[in-house]
Amino acid sequence: METARRVWQQPDVDRWSKRRRRLEPLWFLLPSLTVFAVFAIWPTIEAVVTSLSRYNLTEPNARRVFIGLENYRTMLADPTFWGDLVRSFQFVIASVTVTLLLGFYIAYLLFNANRGRNIFRILFLVPMTVSPAITALSFKFMFNYEFGVINVMLDGLIGKKLNLLGDAGLALWATAAIDAWIWTPLVVLILLSGLESLPVEPFEAAALDGAGAWDMLRSITVPLLKRFFLIAALIRIMDAFRVYEIIQLTTAGGPGNLSETLNVYIAKRGFSFFEMGPASAMAMILTFIIVAVGTVFVRQSSAFEEATS
Amino acid sequence: MTKQKLLIVLTLAVAGAMLLVACGAPPAPASEAPATDAPAADPLRAYEGTTLRLALKQGYETTAIENYIQDFEDKTGINVEYEVYDEPTLREKFVLDSTAQTGTYDVVAVQFWYFPEYDKAGWLEPLDDYVTNDSIDGWLDVGEIPDAVKASFVGKEDGKLYSIPVSAAGGVLTYRADVLEALGIPAPVSVKDVVTAAALVKEGRPELYGWIGRGESSFASFSTSAGWAWAYGARVLDEANSVTVDTPEMLEAMTDFVALNREFGPPDQASLGWDAETPIFCADGGGAAFNFEMSGFPGFWMNPANCAYGENLGMAILTGPGNHAPQWFYAEALSISKFSNNKEAAWLFLQWRMSPDILLREVTDGIRLDIPYNAVLTDPAYLAKAEETSLDDYVAMLPDILNAVDMRSWPSVPEFVKVAEAFQQEISLAIAGEQTVEEALAKAQTNIEQIMREAGY
């Protein structure tokens, strides 16, 4: 009887044992998943709910009142939202382009440096180690028309000063330049590690075929670094969309709102006006845009992996 | 228990602990000192053992607290913990604390332009009963604070005082007296004189800016433009809170104001805030001829230790076509949070902070001279310090500056930040040359009307 029972139970025991083994890793992941759920998923759900509500913190006895998609409708009809969205894209394109080009140039120089490579690597990382808020305030004074060091140098070199933060046509690009200054070292790190991971055989073969440095750079180095470019671009794009302190501390979005990007506007609506509903709705849209752009880059990166494997 | 089971139990325990920590209630606020039936022998020590938490703003108002807090703690036995933030962060902290009603902060620094917002939300403790029934002799005497300053912290509905002003400033023109004298330009008396004089300075001393002021696109610059407008009889909201931006008086006011900034100020005037004024106004070998600001600034500039031209500066309270003085009122106060569990102890702190002894120490230690307390302004030690720092002319003018304050010019509404941002944004664009003054005012009118409509006015 005992044997028969054991035989009868055998398949269940195996199935339960396999299931338990499959679930074991989850138990070890549980603490991290819990933290992720509490600090990432739950706030996101709260933000979605708030985006569908009217909720102003400065109202007496403030509480959330469900209003459906009204915040989204109002946002889509708000010319400030669209203007800031366009400026966000302008900022991202400008900053990311500069950081990728400049970052690659510096990484390439460091890679080919014979002397002092390590020292220069450390020096080039310094901008990234300074708080963005401190950097923004420093640049605000450096860009000042009257006494800023940038304009003092320009005046000495070309006899002309630039109204970098007060000119409507320059303010946004000036803040993009600050952003590029801060985050170029990150791109340098990524691309330098990429350069150092490249196989030497294609270069040796190209050298044997008589290819020059420029040909090797154009035809071998850059294509092989595509994956690293995609990673660097993805990280930079996500960061650039979320820029806040650089703009707020240098131009406050001015003149007018001509250097204001969407994240700055979200912060204004949420933490200056305390209109949590519209701010959350815009934050949802911005998140969606960042995720959409990120998805494109991840797919590109995956496609490249498959093509080269 | 097998190792596996033990591991699972431990993991679940860790996860549960993390969840409890994340969802845990905020720490309970410090409890009031135990009440006793018998009256305290020393009223100063009635709340001994209590811990007060303060939320303060960066600035000289806070320097005194940081420097002298040991005196309060020694006298009262109350332990004080304070946090100092920039103004936007302080407001965020207080709003979030008050929305959640946690009572984390017992005392909070309140800027007058946020007061209507806090008043409407009911986040501050009214002080009238404390003033009447619970005042310490020799410390704060509320009657010594100018009425015009207190008025900006009085509740709209109940007329009660909610905050004790710690600092106050009015609008004043500061000018380079040496430059005007050299060019034969009389000291301005009206806002129109300033426009004329700025043009003459530009012509006679091209290396100087005729004007420096706040032009950046934020509500922090609103006081300069909207305050200037009051001299012309123009204001953003009238008594009925109707929007009055697109009036002929405002058009004249802003036309002059934009011209001052655009034609006679630095090219980046549209992006300049308060922090850029001092380096430009006091610059060696250069600078600007005129500035209109809150009176705290000339108190700094006229001290030769702080500004190259300190001894060559003059001040004037202007008038204008509307027979009003242009305004630049600012006041900061200390309030007790409605949700504090230590209100009586907090009131003791407020009284200490504005006691003549502490105020005079601020003066003699060189922290500040613009004290909104009448008894201090006539104290020999105060006057001696003013003379020592070459600021005797400045302090002589302070009472007149505060008396010129006219709160009719100010949009004292809870929606102030939105209203001020909407107005200043358009003015900043006009200063930058991106639109005309007419276009700026038309847009500001429309936008502010929408703000007021949405707010239920």
Distance to chain B for A129, nearest Cα, Å: 23
Report the pLDDT averaged over residues A166-187: 95
H/E element, B331:
strand B330-336
A7, part of any domain: no
Distance to chain A for B168, nearest Cα, Å: 23
| Phi then psi dihedrals of residue A210, to 5 deg | 90, 15
Across the A:B interface, residue pairs with CB atoms under 8 Å apart total: 127
Looking at residue B31, what is its pLDDT? 44
Q: Rounded to an integer, what distance in angstroms lies between the CA atom of residue A86 and that of residue A70?
A: 22
CA-to-CA dists, residue B307 to A228, B155, B202, B279, B444, angstroms: 53, 40, 22, 9, 37
Report the pLDDT averaged over residues B30-53: 70
A251/B414 Cβ within 8 A: no
Lowest mean pLDDT among A142-151, A265-274, B193-202, B282-291: B282-291
Model confidence at B38: pLDDT above 80 = no
Model confidence at B115: pLDDT above 60 = yes
Model confidence at B436: pLDDT above 70 = yes
Give the count of alpha carbons within 13 A of A248, CB side only: 18
Model confidence at B22: pLDDT above 80 = no
B22/A39 Cβ within 8 A: yes
Q: What is the chain B residue with the closest CA to A141?
A: B276
- Average pLDDT of chain B to the nearest whole number: 90
B-chain CB neighbours of A271 within 8 Å are 88, 92
Looking at residue B143, what is its pLDDT? 94
Distance to chain B for A214, nearest Cα, Å: 43
B276/A144 Cβ within 8 A: yes
The owner of tokens 């004037």 is B316
Tokens of B79: 């332990």
A36, part of any domain: no
B-chain CB neighbours of A161 within 8 Å are 267
H/E element, B291:
strand B288-294
Model confidence at A127: pLDDT above 50 = yes
- Average pLDDT of chain A to the nearest whole number: 90
Percent of chain B beyond pLDDT 70?
Answer: 92
Q: Rounded to an integer, what distance in angstroms lies between the CA atom of residue A252 and that of residue A250?
A: 6
Sequence-ordered alpha helix ranges (H) in B216-308 = 222-230, 248-264, 274-281, 296-301
Tell me which residue in A58, A164, A166 faces B117 most closely, judged by beta carbons: A58
Q: What is the chain A residue with the closest CA to B120?
A: A60
Distance to chain B for A235, nearest Cα, Å: 28
Model confidence at A152: pLDDT above 90 = yes
Domains and CATH numbers, chain B: 47-161+330-403 (3.40.190.10), 171-328+412-454 (3.40.190.10)
CATH code of the domain in which A288 resides: 1.10.3720.10
Domain count, chain A: 1
Report the pLDDT averaged over residues B164-190: 95
Percent of chain B beyond pLDDT 90?
Answer: 76
pLDDT-derived band at B28 (thresholds 50, 70, 90) equals very low
A268, part of any domain: yes
Model confidence at A36: pLDDT above 90 = yes
Q: Rounded to an integer, what distance in angstroms lies between the CA atom of residue A293 and that of residue A289?
A: 6
A164/B428 Cβ within 8 A: no
B-chain CB neighbours of A146 within 8 Å are 266, 268, 279-280, 283, 286
Percent of chain A beyond pLDDT 70?
Answer: 95
Q: What is the chain A residue with the closest CA to B94?
A: A58
A59/B121 Cβ within 8 A: yes
Domain that holds residue A141: 80-308
B428/A59 Cβ within 8 A: no
Report the pLDDT averaged over residues A273-302: 92
Looking at residue A285, what is its pLDDT? 96
A38/B271 Cβ within 8 A: no
Looking at residue A177, what is its pLDDT? 97
B273/A254 Cβ within 8 A: no
Looking at residue A16, what is its pLDDT? 76
A161/B425 Cβ within 8 A: no
Tell me the residue type at A1: M
- Listed residue (B138, B145, B200) closest to B175, CA to CA: B200
Strand order in the sheet with B171-176: B209-212, B288-294, B171-176, B313-316
DSSP for chain A reads -HHHHHHHHHHHHHHHHHHHHHHHHHHHHHHHHHHHIIIIIHHHHHHHHHHTEE-BTTSTT---EE-TTHHHHHHHT-HHHHHHHHHHHHHHHHHHHHHHHHHHHHHHHHHH-SSSHHHHHHHHHHHHHS-HHHHHHHHHHHT-TTT-HHHHHHHHHHS----TTT-TTTHHHHHHHHHHHHHHHHHHHHHHHHHHHS-SHHHHHHHHTT--HHHHIIIIIHHHTHHHHHHHHHHHHHHHHT--HHHHHHTTT-STTTT--HHHHHHIIIIIS-BHHHHHHHHHHHHHHHHHHHHHHHHHHHHHHHHH-
Chain A contact present for B286, CB below 8 A = yes
Percent of chain A beyond pLDDT 90?
Answer: 70
Q: What's the pLDDT tens digit per position in A106-126?
A: 999 999 888 888 888 888 889
Are A241 and A169 in contact by the 8 Å Cβ rule? The answer is no
Q: What's the pLDDT tens digit per position in A187-239?
A: 999 999 999 999 999 899 999 999 898 988 898 999 999 999 999 999 999 99
A273/B271 Cβ within 8 A: no
Report the pLDDT averaged over residues B259-276: 92
pLDDT-derived band at A92 (thresholds 50, 70, 90) equals very high
Chain A contact present for B119, CB below 8 A = no
Tokens of B167: 């600092």
- Listed residue (B354, B357, B304) closest to B332, CA to CA: B354
B270/A38 Cβ within 8 A: no
Lowest mean pLDDT among A291-300, B92-101, B230-239: A291-300
pLDDT-derived band at A308 (thresholds 50, 70, 90) equals low
Q: What is the chain B residue with the closest CA to A59?
A: B121
Mutate to test the interface with B, among A34, A50, A175, A261 (most CBs of B within 10 A): A34
Q: What's the pLDDT tens digit per position in B339-393?
A: 999 999 999 999 999 999 999 999 999 899 889 999 999 899 999 999 888 888 8
Between B308 and B16, name the one with better pLDDT: B308
Chain A contact present for B293, CB below 8 A = no
A62/B22 Cβ within 8 A: no
A-chain CB neighbours of B414 within 8 Å are 58
Report the pLDDT averaged over residues B102-108: 96
B18/A34 Cβ within 8 A: yes
A33, part of any domain: no
pLDDT-derived band at B14 (thresholds 50, 70, 90) equals low
A247, part of any domain: yes
A200, part of any domain: yes
Model confidence at A76: pLDDT above 50 = yes
The DSSP letter of residue B147 is H
Looking at residue B25, what is its pLDDT? 47
Q: Chain B, 253-272: which have a CB under 8 Å from a chain A CB?
A: 266-272
A166, part of any domain: yes
Report the pLDDT averaged over residues B265-294: 87
A19, part of any domain: no
Whether the model pTM is above 0.90: no
Contacts of B272 (CB under 8 A, 6+ apart): A166, B212, B213, B214, B215, B216, B265, B266, B280
Looking at residue A9, what is its pLDDT? 54
